[in-house]
Structure 1
Amino acid sequence: MQTVPVVLDAAFVRDPYPIYERLRATGPVHRAVLPDGRGVWLVVGHHEVRAALADPRLTVDKRHANPGGWQGLQLPPALDANLLNLDGPDHARLRRLVTGAFTPRRVAGLRPGIEATAAALLDAMVGRGTADLVADYAVPLPVAVIGDLLGVAPGDRADFKGWTDTMLAAEAGERVDARSALGELLAFLTLLIATKRAHPADDLLSDLVAARDGDGGRLSGDELLSMAFLLLFAGHETSVQLIGSGALALIREPALRGAPGLVEELLRHDGPVGLAVRRFPTEDLTVGDTTIPAGDPVLLALGAAHRDPARYRTPDALDPARPDQGHLGFGHGVHYCLGAPLARLEAEVALGALFARFPEVALTVPAGDLRRRPTIRVRGLVALPVRLNP
């Protein structure tokens, strides 16, 4: 372990991989400092990260955090009772309520709608010459998909991305008005749930309202709001970043377009979730040669694990045909991402349709000038300006 904590600053946001490489060379666990000055433990070795993701002694439940320690984004109680803050029986109960919506079979049935949305977005770019593939494509496609799944009217989806950006910036210590954004989001969800209660439809949110109101009340009021919040928040954000980063990678390496295993390798090479949700040891926990005290915040660096030469040959290369496939991009263990099949499908459809329509798409700025979003946990591009038909 390094004696001087690594600072998760702007250089880390821009390109964490050289920093991870230096850290891995001196051990799998390190002290780190967040942008707001608070300390965390950072786990960077693949073996250690994978084991920690499934270790029941590392909980996401903030009740196990030390008083005054970093806990991540501070949510109002009505949004806090979500799967990213729960373990044990409550986590299992809530997860069962939505698992059916994300089975591979159910998700496969969404393909025609996703393809139609992608085609419509690409149609809107024809004749324009240039586009921002983040704002014009990577954002609206997943927002439309999760909006349809939850039953949110198209005209009510405009603020999704702004709320998400504000929350992620606040989690990273940026000075943003998170309280206002969370208040607006809570009011939006409260009204949406009331609408579904009065006029139920064939959508996931109506099903959750029925679970709340039915015999036995399988959801509390706060749990219902929190579940709606998580599905809205997590249901589009990582897909946005996967599509944007994937488009950039395939503009730079066009020979890889359509390669088998491409989406999985994109998730490993530069996936949207660089750091897993913070965890807290329920007891003093030894990882590698380091003992992490109970209650201290721990960040598991998925991005570092995915470039660990102890696990991957030529880890910095983007190689869909690599023999040592596999990744932790959707987690591991009981918190494995429910939406993994949907995220895979969205990326597959989005990237395939994009390059089929605009095979000669090219950047309008040097790749080194592209800006990353100022968040430490979710990696993504601010914009991806391109010429569509150079």
Structure 2
Amino acid sequence: MGAVDQTTADGHLERYDEALARDPMAAFALVREWMRSDWRALFAELRERRPVFVTPAFTVVTRFADVTEVLSRESVFSVRAFGPRLDAALGGPYMLGWDATPMNWRERGLMQVMLDPRDAARVRELAGRIADEALDAAQPHGRIEAVHELFRHVALGVCAEYFGLPGPDPQTLSRWTRAIVTDGFANYTGDPAIQAESVRAGAEMTAYLRDRLAGLRSALRAGLDLPDDVFTRLVRTSLPPGLGLGDERVAINMAGLPLGFVESGPGAMAEAVEQLLLRPEALAQAVAAAADPDPAHFDRHVWEALRFNPFFKLLPRVCEQDHVLAAGTPRATMIPEGTFVLAAPASAMFDPDVVPEPDEFRPDRPDHHRLFFGHGQHACLGVHPAKVVVCEVVRRLLLRPGVRLLPPPEGGLVRSGGIFPERFVLGLGPEGRAA
């Protein structure tokens, strides 16, 4: 029993096999580079030839059914790949890093109550207002550096006004989230310097949260009028003492909100905008839909654009017991205990067995073909506010006339570490105005 083991002439697999025979580390480096620069071609070849791609360092899962199997079997494929790093940064266990435990069930449920899905319209309006303010300021200049002046600016504003987490200042909160998320989700080699920076950032963040929590409790005791943000809701909530949800647990759970949003939200915005601007016909359809009173008619254009370059292409897991993946199929593969597994939602969303005509740009695809927010027990906790913020910021941008990519050297989306959007200068208004 094993994965389909064919190669494609002059393809990625032939080059990988040749490199593996000579130097396993060189083969590993090849795969890492392809995942950054040629992921669609690599995953297409893997889905066809080795859908469960076993290497000495990790196993990559590429088919839709197999990706969802990995993500829905938390007792078999755990988040031990990143959970301990989040715990180290935050100075205590963070519930999303603890699979199938009472702490996970209890605290995830509590935070879902705080993140009321009925807030979506309010959050959408907030994101749109902040976006318009940023675009109004940039419009006279004929350009905007969209990553920091728009995408991250809005995300940090939502953190301040909806989550109740302004940070000491937006730049400091931004620095904390980048350091912790980089270690937790992009430090595949375990670089100790990256880990140390994450721990430093986490200590600063949790100290800030403890101080803010004390301030909120003091304000409530004094009878002061406080806004209806998520942090205040949590502080107002009376919980049975036996649940073990003291102030330290409250602070750690609140830390998870910016960690799950300040990087992934702007990342999704940047990738979706770039993909739309690269496709004139799709862009024209999205611009027309942006004027529709029903935002759902526009949002699907954002998600289809993002499918062509998702922000997080891989989700890491650790296999906790021997498991036959894709049992009963020709690709059935034994995954040994301890295997580092990379589930590839980016590949799954191009699987022709599930997604019809995957290479075509089709905004009418159903929601269940989209895996941007994960799947199973660890699906995104804040999916409802995240969805509307991402889509509304893109909508407000496309409502501005003359949004366009600029030519090199200034044009183009620049990514830090090949993952995090760092700079994206866009033209606004009539061509020739940008200066």
TM more than 0.5: yes
Partner of 1:282: 320
Aligned-partner SS, 1:291 = strand
* 1:322/1:209 CA distance change after superposition, 3 Å: closer
**Are residue 93 (structure 1) and residue 93 (structure 2) matched?**
no
CA distance in 1, matches of 2:40, 2:92: 33
2:62–2:348 CA contact under 8 A, matched in 1: yes
Q: CA deviation at 1:22?
A: 2.4
Partner of 2:58: 40
**Are residue 49 (structure 1) and residue 70 (structure 2) matched?**
no
Aligned-partner SS, 1:30 = strand
Partner of 2:40: 17
The one of 285, 307, 321 equivalent to 1:256 is 285
- 1:135-284 aligned at under 5 Å gives the runs 135-153=148-166, 156-171=169-184, 172-173=186-187, 175-176=193-194, 177-200=197-220, 201=226, 202-211=228-237, 215-253=241-279, 254-258=283-287, 259=289, 260=297, 261-276=300-315, 278-284=316-322
Partner of 1:387: 427
Partner of 1:31: 54
* 1:195/1:31 CA distance change after superposition, 3 Å: farther
Aligned-partner SS, 1:159 = helix
The one of 338, 341, 361 equivalent to 2:404 is 361
CA distance in 2, matches of 1:19, 1:165: 28
Partner of 1:326: 369
Aligned-partner SS, 1:304 = helix
* 1:223-274 deviation digits (Å, cap 9, x = unpaired): 3232111112103321111111122122222223144321332343322221
2:71–2:77 CA contact under 8 A, matched in 1: no
Instruction: Specify the code of the residue in structure 1 equivalent to 2:341.
Output: V
* 1:268/1:101 CA distance change after superposition, 3 Å: farther
The one of 374, 382, 391 equivalent to 1:339 is 382
1:142–1:236 CA contact under 8 A, matched in 2: yes
2:124–2:385 CA contact under 8 A, matched in 1: no
CA distance in 2, matches of 1:318, 1:97: 38
Instruction: Specify the code of the residue in structure 2 equivalent to 1:31.
Output: V
Instruction: Specify the code of the residue in structure 2 equivalent to 1:381.
Output: P
Q: CA deviation at 1:139?
A: 0.7
The one of 299, 302, 311 equivalent to 2:342 is 299
Q: CA deviation at 1:287?
A: 1.0
Relative to the length of structure 2, the TM-score reads 0.77
* 1:267/1:82 CA distance change after superposition, 3 Å: farther
Q: Work out the percentage of aligned pairs sharing the same amino acid.
A: 24
Instruction: Specify the code of the residue in structure 2 equivalent to 1:225.
Output: A
1:21–1:304 CA contact under 8 A, matched in 2: yes
Q: CA deviation at 1:32?
A: 4.9
CA distance in 2, matches of 1:70, 1:235: 17
CA distance in 1, matches of 2:135, 2:412: 25
CA distance in 1, matches of 2:428, 2:219: 43
* 1:230/1:13 CA distance change after superposition, 3 Å: same
Aligned-partner SS, 1:334 = helix
Partner of 1:36: none
Which one has a bigger Cα radius of gyration?
2
Relative to the length of structure 1, the TM-score reads 0.85
Aligned-partner SS, 1:158 = helix
CA distance in 1, matches of 2:90, 2:370: 33
Aligned-partner SS, 1:199 = helix
* 1:280/1:271 CA distance change after superposition, 3 Å: same
Which of the pair is proportionally richer in helix? 2
Q: Aligned residue pairs: how many?
A: 376
Instruction: Specify the code of the residue in structure 2 equivalent to 1:156.
Output: D
CA distance in 1, matches of 2:353, 2:182: 33
Q: CA deviation at 1:323?
A: 7.4
* 1:382/1:79 CA distance change after superposition, 3 Å: farther
Q: CA deviation at 1:11?
A: 4.2
Instruction: Specify the code of the residue in structure 2 equivalent to 1:274.
Output: K
CA distance in 1, matches of 2:115, 2:83: 32
Aligned-partner SS, 2:414 = coil
CA distance in 2, matches of 1:73, 1:30: 28
Q: CA deviation at 1:279?
A: 2.4
* 1:81-120 deviation digits (Å, cap 9, x = unpaired): 2324333432221111121333432222323222211111
* 1:324/1:195 CA distance change after superposition, 3 Å: closer
Instruction: Specify the code of the residue in structure 2 equivalent to 1:158.
Output: Q
**Are residue 58 (structure 1) and residue 76 (structure 2) matched?**
yes
1:283–1:294 CA contact under 8 A, matched in 2: yes
CA distance in 1, matches of 2:408, 2:200: 35
